[in-house]
Structure formats: C-alpha cells, structure tokens
Amino acid sequence: MKSSWIGIALQAIEDKQGEDTAVIEVGEVIGITDYFVITTGNNKRQVRSLVEEVEDQIKQNNGPSPKSIEGNQDFKWVLMDYGDFLVHVFDSKERAYYQLDKLWSDMPIEIIG
C-alpha cells in the first residue's frame, strides 16, 4: 500500500507543474525502499521549486523530513530519500539520459501525468 506521504508528494509535484510523473513499485526487487516517485522539471529553477514544494508540503502535513537529499547542488537530478519512498526530480536532459522509467519498466508503474 502506498504511503499517504506519496499522495502529498504527488500533490506538491502537480502544484509546481512537474511533468511525466510516475510512481514505480520497486520494493520486491531492491529492498531499500518501496516506491520511486519520478518527475521532471523543465529547468534547474523548476527542479529546485519541485524539491522545495515536496519537502514543504510533507512537513506542513506533519510528515517526515527526508533522510537525505542528493543532487541539490546543481539541480539536474535530485534524490529525496523518505525511507519508504524515494522522490527523483530530474531536469529533462538527465531524465532522458538515465531513463529510470525504462530501467524499471517490468515493475508496476502508475503514470500520473
């Protein structure tokens, strides 16, 4: 079952107009987390805005802080670790290069937008 915090993260992403958002269930395969939430920003400013909004909305709803945030120096690919789920916020160039959606395409994927 998806964490309610994922729903809040998805709302934050929608509020800041993240694109091509997907939730991938990976728990059975990797064991360190249950879900990947993946979204794209058009530029570094939007990537930063998406990251900040996800963190702010989860905190405002008395949710956890991320255990760690990686990539928030250059805002090309930011990884937010919430334990049960990871939020990957890419700029469009990095997302096209790494293709996490394709890498995990054999897992259950919910396309959000």
Cα–Cα distance measured from residue 98 to residue 92, given in angstroms and rounded to the nearest whole number: 10
Q: Which domains does the chain have, with CATH numbers?
A: 4-111 (3.30.460.10)
Of 47, 64, 48, 49, nearest to 8 (Cα)? 64
Cα–Cα distance measured from residue 54 to residue 5, given in angstroms and rounded to the nearest whole number: 10
Overall size of the chain counted in residues: 113
Which carries the bigger pLDDT value, residue 101 or residue 66?
A: 66
Provide the pLDDT for residue 108: 81
CA dihedral 111→2→65→88, nearest 10 degrees, is -30
Cα–Cα distance measured from residue 13 to residue 18, given in angstroms and rounded to the nearest whole number: 5
Q: Are 66 and 55 a contacting pair, CB within 8 Å? A: yes
Which carries the bigger pLDDT value, residue 100 or residue 108?
A: 100
Kindly tell me if the per-residue pLDDT of 37 is higher than 50.
yes
Provide the pLDDT for residue 111: 81
Q: Give me the phi and psi of 14, to 5 degrees please.
A: -65, -40
